[in-house]
Each structure stands twice: as C-alpha cells, then as structure tokens.
Structure 1
Amino acid sequence: MAPYGEFWRQMKSIFVLQLLSNQRVQSFHIVREEETALQMKKIEESASSSSALNLSEIFTLLTNDMVCRAAVWRKYSGEESGKKFMLLLKNFVGLLGSIDVGDFIPWLTWINHVTGFYAKLDRVANEIDEFLEQVVEERTNALKRKSDGDERVEDEGREDFLDILLRIHTDNTAVDRDCIKALILDTFSAGTDNTATVLEWAMTELLRHPIVMNKVQYEVGEILKGKPQITADDLEEMNYLKAVIKETVRLHPPIPLIVREASEDVRVMGYDIEARTMVMINAWAIGKDPVSWVEPEEFQPERFMNSSIDFRGHDFELTPFGAGRRGCPGTSFAMVTNEFVLANLMHKFNWALPDGAKREHLDMTECPGVTIRRRIPLLAVATPCHC
C-alpha cells in the first residue's frame, strides 16, 4: 500500500529476499508437508462418518498455519487468541474491499461516521495492532533472554522472518516497530486469504467437472506410482494439475481488481491520466476477454496444455497477480502451496457433493471484497482413495 519510492523498494527487498525468494520458498517444504499431512489425517477421520466437510474453513486454517510457521515459526489456530485473530483478519480483508465514500466525494465523508464505518476501522485496527504487538513483544523478550544466556529459551537452530525483521530493526532506523507489524500483517493476510481462495475455487470447479477431476487423479496416480508421499520433483511433472490451477485463477482471480496509483502523467489508449490518479485494473475481465480466450466462460484446463501463457506477469492476457515492479511477490509461495495441497487432496480422496446434490446446482455466488471468496462455504464429502 506504500507509495512507490525508496521506502517501498527497501520493504519489498526485505520481504522478497528474507521470505519469498525461491530458495526460501523451497526451504519451507517441511512446513508444507507437515501441515498438509495433519489436515489430510483430519479429513480421513471425518471421511469415516461420511459427513460433509467445510473445505472453505479447512483451506483457511491450513494456509494460515503454513504462513504463521513460515513467518513466526508458530501456529495460532489452536489458541483462543488465534481464533480471535482469524476473525480480525476476515474483518480486515473485508474492510480493505469496502468503498470509502469520502475518498471519492469528500463532502459526503460524514456518512461514514453515521454508518459506523470509521468506528469499525478504528476498532479492527486497534485490535490487530494489539495482537501483533504481543507477537513482536514476546519474540523480543525471548531474543533478549537468549542473548543473556537463558537456557530455558527454545532454540531450534533456525531464524524466521520475524527474527530477521527484528535484527534489521536494530541496524536500520527506517524499519521501525510499525514497519515490522505491517510486514507481518501483510504476510498473514495475503498469504492466508489469497491462497485459500484459489484452493476453494479449484475444488469448486473440480466438483462441477468430474471428468476434469478424474484426469487430475489419474495424472497424480501415474506419476506417484504407489508412492505414499508427494515430492517437489513429482509436482514438476504434474502438468495437468498446473493447468487446472491456471484455469482456476483465470476464471476466479483471487484479487479481481488490482489498484494502482499513476506515478506520473501518462497517455494510455487516447486517455490522459494525471499523476496520482487511482487506476483499477480489472483482472477478472481480462481473464474472460473473448479476444484472448475461446469460450472464456467455460472451465477448460486443456487450453493451458502445451501453452506458454503463465500468470507471473509476462502475459497480459492472464494477470491475476499483477505485473511489473508491483506484481505480487508471493506468487511462488502461494502456487507451490496450492499445487501441493491440491495434489494431496486428489491423491488421497475421492470427492462428491453432500446429500447427492447435483453439480449443476452448486452455488457459485461470489462474496464481494478485496479477495473474491465463495458466498456460501464449500461443502464436500471425502472417501479415502486406495489407488
């Protein structure tokens, strides 16, 4: 959200190098494997009763646990404070997607006071700050006790993102305590919601298209050849699964409107755009443009087989994560997680809609916000797949 400039470049450099570089992303494979295995076990236990699973909730908890462990090496989902923070994150993302009338019509700012919008902003901001302050304070105290030689402080021989931020804080006055909390909040919110959204819509489309699901399961089974665990090398060979994810983010970009601010006066397609103009790029419409896509409303992963089009910002007909200097730096982190979780779901279980519901009746209504989640949580029934 910071204006483009030296400060923004410093913050992004820290973020990318210390958390989201390819080397760091690959180093988190143990976290992905352990957290995914825990969820697969829980799904298997629920599958024995043939009860419907809330996949929307499962994906949110799973991705949040992965992100928390990557950033601060600790999960909060099992704690009361963590459950409260998950609700705060949901409110935070919802507020980001709200329209502030005063931003566009200043003389109508008073409406936000009457509706309570500003009061809710203050409450959520203060509660999030209180939680993050506690996280940072606990780690600061632990590092101080460790430096004082306190042997009771746990030391697993690893330095996580929060440790690195606190170390940089001591050497760089530009990275103050608020910067640390803001970067951690970016990690928690974007890493949780965006990743869970892609998984949610991918499973939705697979449930609507059983033939596609069968193809994914066949591919996964052929590559694993009876192996119980999926490795990074296995994922590299799963081209159809990757195509399913590409088609998912084409139809359901997690962030449909990419907001940018023009840094200088520019002329685009005959329009004069002044510096500091807010520009909204409609990634949702780009992914459904009939000029670029054949049958753009249809879910057809095959369109990406033997295609060089990717979502990393080089092909402007598919820009779910933005492009250029302000493209999403967490794309690799999210995609590796999506591929690994989806491959495990396809490898270990068969899936169906609950109560014999027909796939054409599956509710596809979207919930408005910064990220576009399903309005109604995705429910599905899993049965173990012994293949």
Structure 2
Amino acid sequence: MVLELQILALFLLFLILTILYRIFPFQSKLPPSPIALPIIGHFHLLGPLIHHSFHKLSLRYGPLFSLRLGSVPCIVASTPEYAKLLLKNNDLSFSSRMQTIAISHLTYNSAYAFAPYGPYWKFMRRLSTNELLGSHTMKNFLSLREREYRRLLRFLAGKSEAGEAVNVTEELLKLSNNVISEMMLGRAEEARSVVRDLTRILGEFNVSDYIWFCKHLDLQGFGKRIEDIHGRFDALAEKVIAEREELRKKKENGEREDTGDDQPRVKDFIDILLDFSGDESSEIKLTRVHIKALIVDFFSAGTDTTAIATEWALAELINHPEVLKRARKEIEDVVKSKRLVNETDAPNLPYVQAILKETFRLHPPLPLVTRKCVQDCKIGNYVIPTNTMLFVNVWAIGRDPTCWENPLEFQPERFLKSDHEKNMGPIDVRGQHFELLPFGSGTRLCPGLNLAMQELPTLLAAMIQCFDFKVVGKHGKLIDDEQDIALVDMDERPGLTAPRACDLVCVPVARFKQLNILDT
C-alpha cells in the first residue's frame, strides 16, 4: 500500500510540474514543446517517417520547437530562416554530431564525419577535400566512373533485348557501391556485401542511443549485428592495407608493379592515406585506425545517397513524361545521337541539372540535417543548452508553400527561372541557399558534394538517353489497363535516409535499334 501511494505521489508531482511548465513558459528558455511522458519523452509522437512527424508537429508548435527523445534534448527547425540562423550564423555552436553506439564501434571511435570540431577534424577535412576528393583525384577516377556507367547501361541493354524486368534499385546501389569501393580500396566485388550491411545499420534507429538506462541493454539485437559487421569490415580493411603495404615495399626495392597491362595503376584512397601516414612532418599522425575509420565514413556517406537520388529522379521522370521528353531533347541537342553523354556535358545540360535540384527539393536523400550543440547558444528569445540535438527538416522546407509555388508538384522549370536570380543568382545545392540543403551547410557541409554532382547528372542523362522504362504492374500504380501504363509508387521507407518504399522494378526499352552508342 505504501509503495502504491509513493507511485501515486510521484505521478501527481510529475503532473503538477508539467502543468506549471505549460502555464509559465518563461521559466524555460527552450522553444515551445508538446507535453512529454516520463522516460520516453516525446517518442510517442513520432511515427516511422520521423521527418513527416516533425513536419506535423511544426504546424502546431511553430517553425522552431523542442522535444525530448528519451533523455536527449532536441530542437527542430523547419524554415530556411531558422536553418540559416542555426547552420550559418551559429555554425560553430552546432559544429558536432551525435555519436551513436553503431557509429562509435564501427568507426573505431575515430570517425572524421562525427569527430568534434578541432585540430583532428580540420586536418581530416583538408585531407578529404583537397586530396581524396580534390579535382585532380576526381579526374584520375573519371575512367572508373565511365566504366561503371557503361557496365550498367550494357546490363540494361541485355535485359531490354530479352524483354526482362530489372531491379533498378539494386543496380543503382551496385554502381555507387562499386565506384566508392574502387576509389577507396581498389576493389568492388569483395567489399559489396559488408559495405551494404555497414551503411544499413548506420542508418537504423537504436533506442539505446536515446534512453540513458538502456545504454548497456541490447534491446533490438544491435550489438551482435554490429560485432559481426565490424569483424567482417576490419578483416577486409586489414587485408587491403596489408596488401598495399607489401606492394609499396616492393616498389621501394625497385620491383615493378604488375597491373596486368601497360597502364600504371591509379592511386586509390588507401595509397593516398598511407602516404600521409608515413609523413613524419604531418601535423596529425595518421594511424591504421584513422585510415579504417575514414574508409567507413566514405562508404556510409557515398553509397546509398547517390543511388537514392538517382532512383527518385528516374521515378519522377517516369511519372512525368513531358519532363522526360524535354530532358531528352536537351541531351540530343548536345550530343547529336553520335555518342553517349559524358561528364564533360553536364554543365551544358541545365534542364537535367534542374531535374536533380527538383528531386533534391521533394526527395532529399537525407531529409534531416542533424547537428549537436557544443556550447550554449542564444536563438532569438531562446537559449539552446550544450548537448542539445538539432534537426533541420530539409524535407519540410522543400515542401513549404511560403518558399515554393505549388510545392507538391514536380516542376524542374522553377530552377530555370528562379525568383532568386535578381538578387542572389540561381539556387544551388552547395549550402548557401537554405531553401535547398541536400548536402547540409556550413562547417559540416558534405565533402562528397563534388563527387555526387559529377556522377548524378551524367548517370541520369545516360540512362534516359538510352532507355525508356516500363514499370512492372505490381511495382507501380496501374493507370491505363489497356495500354498497361503504370505510375511509380512514390511512398517512402523509414530510416535516416529516405529511399522509396518499394524497389523500382522496370523493363528497360532500348531507344536505339543498335546500342553501339555505348561503345563510342
């Protein structure tokens, strides 16, 4: 009986404190917030698609509101104005990211992408931007990217000839995985399975990351999966690094490297990182652990997002044949049907670029830009305390009717005749126009931006130059039974990324009787 009275007293105390908190909001310096529950906070208000839930809450509590997810305080911003205020004007206050259990373990507690702002992060940023993803390195890997484009197109051509359906989702993932694996490790097939599992688990939600007394409880079975993936990745990385070190020793001893042909092997990321690890004058001494952590960073950032963006763009083009027709005419005007479109053509394809921007607006691969507050920060009348998580809802901003005319319609033309041209130039994706932030902004702007914007327009243009795509009925919504015309279903699947709910399965239809264009 005494225990029951104590529980009742605690419940009444919690209820009174909650009511007082709502009546006297001046006592709190955080933005408005819904009523929280004990232990779980506001988890009960979130559905499987978290960015959708945040959007619905913003309609009730305003463009900047606060939540408590378990024991983690959070704020959510849903307008370009707040995005700019938080990510640009207060960039250094939100210069960190949340470390999850999976991230900490799989990146050896040494991830550049999640490292605190400081000397190590600055060094790795310069290394990534100037050396690993610099223009010279991107040029060196051009032939690799072109090889992968043609591999996919030839595969689609074979399926077209046989009249067979293709899981386009899987093929796009394979392509992006191959490109990043070859650039990082100099190999693709061996890495594909472990990279896929690694990127998937890093994007999954683990309740133990948010409720303090669950930190050491493996409620969802994450621990065993993390250990398995970490072991497989570590074995692969160790094997590649050891092989590369052996090759370097042979080269130092004057032995000629056997590449199987007369062409010298292009330095991949492992080579570049080993060069820096051996540089005694370097301001940061790169260790084996740092190298493996950086590999994980690039795999997690460079695989799913590129494939997801290409798939969403292709799905929108299938559903909007008039946009597809105009894009093809633009490509035809540039290449004259004499050759396959290539990366040097991308600057001359403004409509294809506009299609990608419109895809980013409606379907950002990362719908939430996440940051962690590293010092108390004043935003208007609010004070955001240290260790608060920030979520900028990029998905909601892209659909805001105060920012965009007819926001739910797919209209690439809006990026050809932007209202912003008079004042600030056309809207781009490099983090300076806060209506469109597919790669984030500020200090934590995605370093892979240049690689993505090399790949995406070329790959999309090449696919629509060579093929029509007929959606298999059960994978789309039938709109014309007689002509067997189906639209692509545009629902999303839950996760930190925002892929389509169902795989894109199509029968490719070759647009040329003979696809010898793939050999030119």
TM-score by length of 2: 0.69
1:372 alignment counterpart: 498
The correspondence for 1:93, drawn from 199, 217, 221, is 199
Q: SS where residue 352 of structure 2 aligns?
A: helix
Could you list the per-position Cα deviations for residues 216-236 of structure 1 after superposition, in whole angstroms to 9, with x for gaps in the alignment? 111111211122132444221
**Distance in 2, Cα, partners of 1:89 & 1:160:** 17
CA distance change for structure 1 residues 96 and 41 in 2, over 3 Å: closer, same or farther?
Answer: same
Do structure 1's residue 253 and structure 2's residue 359 form an aligned pair? no
Letter paired with 2:241: V
* Residues 208, 218 of structure 2: 8 Å contact kept: no
2:270 alignment counterpart: 162
The correspondence for 1:35, drawn from 118, 140, 148, is 148
Q: Aligned ranges for residues 60-209 of structure 1 at < 5 Å?
A: 60-72=173-185, 74-77=186-189, 82=190, 85-109=191-215, 112-151=217-256, 153-154=258-259, 156=264, 158-171=266-279, 172=282, 174-209=285-320
Q: SS where residue 130 of structure 1 aligns?
A: helix
**Distance in 2, Cα, partners of 1:94 & 1:164:** 27
**Distance in 2, Cα, partners of 1:159 & 1:54:** 33
Q: SS where residue 115 of structure 1 aligns?
A: coil
Letter paired with 2:215: T
**Distance in 2, Cα, partners of 1:336 & 1:31:** 13
Do structure 1's residue 55 and structure 2's residue 168 form an aligned pair? yes
* Residues 206, 220 of structure 2: 8 Å contact kept: no
CA distance change for structure 1 residues 152 and 338 in 2, over 3 Å: closer, same or farther?
Answer: closer
Q: How far 1:185 sits from its partner (Å)?
A: 1.9
Letter paired with 1:372: A
Q: How far 1:103 sits from its partner (Å)?
A: 3.1
Question: Which structure has the greater CA radius of gyration?
Answer: 2
2:34 alignment counterpart: none
2:126 alignment counterpart: 13
Q: SS where residue 200 of structure 2 aligns?
A: helix
Q: SS where residue 278 of structure 2 aligns?
A: helix
Q: How far 1:64 sits from its partner (Å)?
A: 1.6
1:288 alignment counterpart: 399
Deviates more, 1:365-374 or 1:295-304: 365-374
Q: How far 1:157 sits from its partner (Å)?
A: 5.2
Deviates more, 1:142-151 or 1:58-67: 142-151
TM-score by length of 1: 0.92
Q: How far 1:375 sits from its partner (Å)?
A: 2.4
Deviates more, 1:368-377 or 1:212-221: 368-377
Higher helix fraction (1 or 2): 1
Do structure 1's residue 230 and structure 2's residue 348 form an aligned pair? no
* Residues 367, 374 of structure 1: 8 Å contact kept: yes
* Residues 47, 382 of structure 1: 8 Å contact kept: yes
CA distance change for structure 1 residues 152 and 88 in 2, over 3 Å: closer, same or farther?
Answer: closer
Runs of 4+ in 1 over 6 A off after TM superposition: none
Letter paired with 1:253: P
2:412 alignment counterpart: 301
Deviates more, 1:284-293 or 1:358-367: 358-367
Letter paired with 2:121: W
CA distance change for structure 1 residues 88 and 270 in 2, over 3 Å: closer, same or farther?
Answer: farther
* Residues 255, 371 of structure 1: 8 Å contact kept: yes
**Fraction of identical pairs, as percent:** 35
Letter paired with 1:163: D
1:327 alignment counterpart: 445
Q: SS where residue 48 of structure 1 aligns?
A: helix
Q: SS where residue 159 of structure 1 aligns?
A: coil
CA distance change for structure 1 residues 37 and 99 in 2, over 3 Å: closer, same or farther?
Answer: closer
CA distance change for structure 1 residues 6 and 136 in 2, over 3 Å: closer, same or farther?
Answer: same
**Distance in 2, Cα, partners of 1:157 & 1:29:** 13
Could you list the per-position Cα deviations for residues 105-141 of structure 1 after superposition, in whole angstroms to 9, with x for gaps in the alignment? 212335x424322222222222222222222122112
**Distance in 2, Cα, partners of 1:207 & 1:106:** 46
Cα RMSD for the two superposed structures: 2.1
Query: Which stretches in structure 1 are left out of the alignment for 5+ residues?
Result: none
Deviates more, 1:334-343 or 1:147-156: 147-156
**Distance in 2, Cα, partners of 1:330 & 1:38:** 23
Deviates more, 1:33-42 or 1:352-361: 352-361
2:330 alignment counterpart: 219
Deviates more, 1:214-223 or 1:308-317: 214-223
* Residues 217, 347 of structure 1: 8 Å contact kept: yes
Deviates more, 1:281-290 or 1:228-237: 228-237
Q: SS where residue 303 of structure 2 aligns?
A: helix
Q: SS where residue 218 of structure 2 aligns?
A: helix
Could you list the per-position Cα deviations for residues 130-160 of structure 1 after superposition, in whole angstroms to 9, with x for gaps in the alignment? 2222221221122122222333543715322
Could you list the per-position Cα deviations for residues 205-252 of structure 1 after superposition, in whole angstroms to 9, with x for gaps in the alignment? 111111111111111112111221324442211111000000111111
2:431 alignment counterpart: 313
**Distance in 1, Cα, partners of 2:157 & 2:212:** 54
1:363 alignment counterpart: 489
Letter paired with 2:118: G
Letter paired with 1:166: L
Q: How far 1:76 sits from its partner (Å)?
A: 2.0
Letter paired with 1:128: F
* Residues 142, 153 of structure 1: 8 Å contact kept: no
Could you list the per-position Cα deviations for residues 5-29 of structure 1 after superposition, in whole angstroms to 9, with x for gaps in the alignment? 1100111111111121234324432
Q: How far 1:202 sits from its partner (Å)?
A: 0.7
Deviates more, 1:229-238 or 1:297-306: 229-238
* Residues 94, 370 of structure 1: 8 Å contact kept: no
**Distance in 1, Cα, partners of 2:364 & 2:397:** 10
Query: Which stretches in structure 2 are left out of the alignment for 5+ residues?
Result: 1-113, 419-425, 480-484, 514-520
Q: SS where residue 506 of structure 2 aligns?
A: strand
Do structure 1's residue 340 and structure 2's residue 340 form an aligned pair? no
* Residues 60, 193 of structure 1: 8 Å contact kept: yes
Letter paired with 1:45: G
